[in-house]
Amino acid sequence: MVKVEELQQYGKEQFDAAVASANTFSSGFQAIATAYSDYTKKSFEDTKSFVEKLSGVKSFDKALEAQSEYAKTSYETFVAESQKIGELYSDLAKQAYKPFEGLVAKMTPAATH
């Protein structure tokens, strides 16, 4: 038979886990938003720099060289930032679940051998 105190304690644990998870989401989403913002700023600055460099070239070969360099740098930045943002999402999911681990363990019947 389940006691009222046990139910109250379980309810409190669920509430505490939900609050902890919500706090994690808030800070995690802030980190993700900051990462997107930083990437956008860097991309804008790189594009601006490319346009300035391109406007100063005197030959078609130099224009192709500048465009090739810009494309390579843009791709490398995109891949690096995508990985960074992906890791932030992964960390967010792990941290958001963490407060519920104890509750899940309590609710999962122990395996008997």
What angle in degrees, to the nearest 10, is found between the helix axes of 60-97 and 4-55? 170
Higher-scoring residue by pLDDT: 72, 106:
72
pLDDT at 74: 95
- Output the pLDDT for position 21: 67
Cβ density class 34-45: b for 16+ within 10 Å, e for less:
ebeeebeeeeee
Query: Is the whole-model pTM more than 0.75?
Result: no
Span 47-87, pLDDT tens digits: 999 999 999 999 999 999 999 999 999 999 999 999 999 99
pLDDT grade, residue 5 (50/70/90)?
A: confident
